Chains A and B, each alone.
Chain A
Amino acid sequence: MAPVTLRQVQKRYGELTVIKGADIAIADGEFVVLVGPSGCGKSTLLRMIAGLEPISGGTVSIGGRVVNDVEPKDRDIAMVFQNYALYPHMTVATNMGFSLEHRGGSKAEIAERVRWAADILGLAPLLDRYPRQLSGGQRQRVAMGRAIVRSPQVFLFDEPLSNLDAQLRVQMRGEIKALHQRLGTTMIYVTHDQVEAMTMADRIVVLNKGNIEQIGAPLDLYDQPANRFVAGFIGSPAMNFIPGRLAAAGFVSDAGAALPLPPGAAPAFAGAALYGVRPEHLDLADDGLPARVRLVEPMGSETHLTLDAAGVPLLAALRRRVHLAPGALVHLRPEPAEAHLFDAETGHRLPPA
């Protein structure tokens, strides 16, 4: 177990800078998820920690030691890859014990470690099979088994669940989380799926275009997004944004509707702003923001309404059944306590948290 610290880590390909100086301090035993849309640099960051990608600037240290120029094998890390990367010409047992073989363990020791890992992951009956004889979920488990046999200081996961079907993904999510609780090892996990990030992480690092947008606990990101990007990325369905102007009097949308301000949001700022409200915090009311219903999607427990408020697309998730026809005119009321304000120009939260 070890802390991992990134200081001003950069990645450049010639002229192109894909990571623009990342600072992340990961505590010993923490589960940190790097999340962001594709191309945000999250996998590159993970691969730099692993030593699979040269670091162009800054330092990565594991357990207090700078590892920039240390071979992956000497960093005491283990990694689970997106496509599992199981050696197709070796059995499950050999795959799992392979790294120990190259670290000079005795045959009995290796067998014991493999057995231990196989028991944790329920792989014992599969040890003599070849990867091609396994299902996707089983392969995923073997890849994790290969990582844990060595009891490394840090586990790295590169989108490990993205090749599984939805149901299996939920199950494996729970297993990885349980594994973390059992082993207590530092884990760094990359995904593009914000649900995975929310459900698994101790802390989330949101990345966008090579920049760190925000670092924080899942619910903090949900409740206090630092900017428009994080607000739109975390939470599903995504937050609604209504453009307008913020003044001493309050917020008025471009279409002229006045919206209630969150409590304590003293408008020291005046100018173009975005009013953010999550679909689950919008409700039908007798007055408020006028909008026309475009689509009604009954989900059973919820009803999703796609609406149009003077050209601004909105989504409302109501926790009840409603009977509305497309084209109907309704009024929406945001819950003031759950509303967010952002500077329209910079995207920053108003007032800064």
Chain B
Amino acid sequence: MTADDGSYRRPFWTIERRDGVVGLLFVAPQLVGIVLFVLVPLALVFWYSLHEWNVLANTFTFKGAANYRKLLEDPTLPEVLGATALFSAGLVVLNLGLALALALLVNQKLRGIVVFRTLFFSPVVVSLVAWTIVWGFLLQANGTINGFLGALGIEGPNWLRHPTTAMISVVVVQVFKNVGLNMVLFLAALQGVPNELYEAARVDGAPRFKQFRRITLPLISPTILLTSIITVVGSLQVFAQIAVLTQGGPGVSTTVLVYYLYQQAFQFHLFGYGSTLAILLFVIVLTLTVLQWQMRRRLVFYEN
């Protein structure tokens, strides 16, 4: 009890201080986790990239910039980066384009449209490897897809054994797997556009296409930006699909960076070089994210 006699002095444990301690306790588990499982490993991966670690002999030797020199001279790397770029670009363009188209379609006032929404979304919840295995089955030389093509008089290629068709296949399989997710996000954004705006545009006599370009696109642009960042970063992390469908082949035509990293580190046990590739992956992800974030000023409309 503090008497009200004008001599009040604040205690050390003020309400704000006590609350602040509670706040720190609330974030502590995650902070410790981030330090232990993200920041420390990130520092270590730099450190490892300067070393070679032999698991079998359990030796850890300093190699200086040797791994980085190797990175520059690696004759396979340009092809790997090419495949990575091709895969990511193809995936992002197809995924976002199809997602937007599907979102516009399932946003129509049609009976039973919810069923179609569910169908387009369903592959998202199908186990990734299961989905990939089925497509591997369908895409075989004597598989079902070529069976149907044959019935139409077309001789289908051996999809997963030709460089071009293999790349197309892994992209398309991945697009169908996850496009439903972006579709739902776009759908939510589309439904967030106030109907009055379309009514106003119709009163103003704007044709549908113009309504889409001048009203819909600007208003859902924040969603487009965020989904594209997520999709781009996600495309760089693709591993299971490649491992199951093509093992990076034929040749290295579908060996994307993450798969290459895995091969170098965990199949050839070149952990130092694998770490160097991880640094490269980190730099690419960082650059692309920053670039996209920079672009938001020019491309994204914000309400405030």
Contacts and interface: CB of A to CB of B under 8 A. Distances in A.
B15 interface: yes
B16 interface: yes
Nearest to A61: B4
Interface stretch (A62-70, A215-223, A234-242): A62-70
Nearest to A62: B4
A70 B10 CA distance: 10
A298 interface: no
B4 A59 contact: yes
Nearest to A71: B15
Contacts of A51: 15
A279 B14 CA distance: 51
Given A51-B15, A54-B16, A68 B10 contact: yes
Given A59-B8, A68-B8, A68-B10, A54 B15 contact: yes
Dominant secondary structure of chain B at its interface with chain A: loop
Contact of A65 (B1, B6, B11): B1
B152 interface: no
B16 A7 contact: no
Contacts of B15: 51, 54, 69-71
B14 A66 contact: no
B108 interface: no
A5 interface: yes
B8 A65 contact: no
B151 interface: no
Contacts of B58: none
Interface in A70-107: 70-71
A71 B15 CA distance: 7
B203 interface: no
A61 B8 CA distance: 10
B21 interface: no
B3 interface: yes
Interface string A214-257: 00000000000000000000000000000000000000000000
A69 B6 contact: no
Contacts of A71: 15
B30 interface: no
Contacts of A69: 10-11, 13-15
A64 B4 contact: yes
A135 to B, nearest CB: 26
Contacts of B16: 54
Contacts of A64: 3-4
A54 B14 contact: yes
A42 to B, nearest CB: 22
B16 to A, nearest CB: 5
A206 B1 CA distance: 31
Contacts of B1: 65
Interface string B1-45: 111101010110111100000000000000000000000000000
Top 9 nearest A-B pairs by Cβ distance? A61-B4, A66-B2, A66-B8, A59-B8, A69-B14, A66-B4, A64-B4, A69-B11, A54-B16
11 contacts: A7-B6, A51-B15, A54-B15, A64-B4, A65-B4, A66-B3, A68-B8, A69-B11, A69-B13, A69-B14, A69-B15
Given A59-B4, A69-B11, 14 more contacts: A5-B4, A7-B6, A51-B15, A59-B8, A64-B3, A65-B4, A66-B2, A66-B3, A68-B8, A68-B10, A69-B10, A69-B13, A69-B15, A71-B15
